[in-house]
Amino acid sequence: MNREDAIDQMLTHCKEACEVAGLTIVWSNVQANQPTDVDWAQPYIRHVTGPQRGFTARGKRRYRQTGIVWIKIHTLSGDGTTNHVPITQKVLDYFQKLRISNISYVNIRAVEDKAHGQFFVTDFMADFSYDVFN
């Protein structure tokens, strides 16, 4: 697996998790106005340095790529902030139940932020890892 394929796969996981939760996706690389009347999310993939883990039988180098999948979940506050809990739980459930051999997700969690204007923001985070062979 190469880095670009891994990023595509992780962004697909983010998209599917948000769709299950009923969230509109706002991609960070697209200039667009943020929604004002629907629950929405903005996913990010952040890599950290990938150290070499060894060599394969064919002499290729094996690197472990790690980082964090981060989804900023914005839910309309309305009369309170209780609607963010079931929405965030659906995203958590999606990643906790996801079984895939190429990318591992661990430390799956959500951290409540605070109200920002008419939205309550919750940060979903999961540490990821996958191997690249060069």
In a domain, 32, yes or no: no
92 part of a folded domain: yes
**Residue in this structure with the two tokens 């394929």, named with its chain if needed:** 5
On whether residue 33 sits in a domain, the answer given is: no
Over the stretch 78-110, which tens digit does the pLDDT of each residue have?
766 567 889 999 999 999 999 877 899 999 999
Q: What is the dihedral of CA 96, 51, 56, 102, to 10 degrees?
A: 20
Q: Are 119 and 75 in contact (CB under 8 A)?
A: yes
| The total number of structural domains that make up the chain | 1
Whether residue 60 contacts residue 52, with contact meaning beta carbons closer than 8 Å, is answered with: no
Q: Does pLDDT of 126 surpass 70?
A: yes
The pLDDT value given to residue 56: 66
pLDDT in tens, 31-81: 667 888 899 999 999 999 777 667 766 777 878 899 999 999 999 887 665
Query: Which residues lie closer than 8 Å to 111 by C-beta, 6 or more apart?
Result: 122, 123, 125
Let me know if residue 14 belongs to a domain: yes
Q: Which two tokens stand for residue 32?
A: 């667009």
| Residue 123 domain boundaries | 3-27+38-133
10, part of any domain: yes
CATH number of the domain encompassing residue 17? 3.30.2000
Report yes or no on 87 lying in a domain: yes
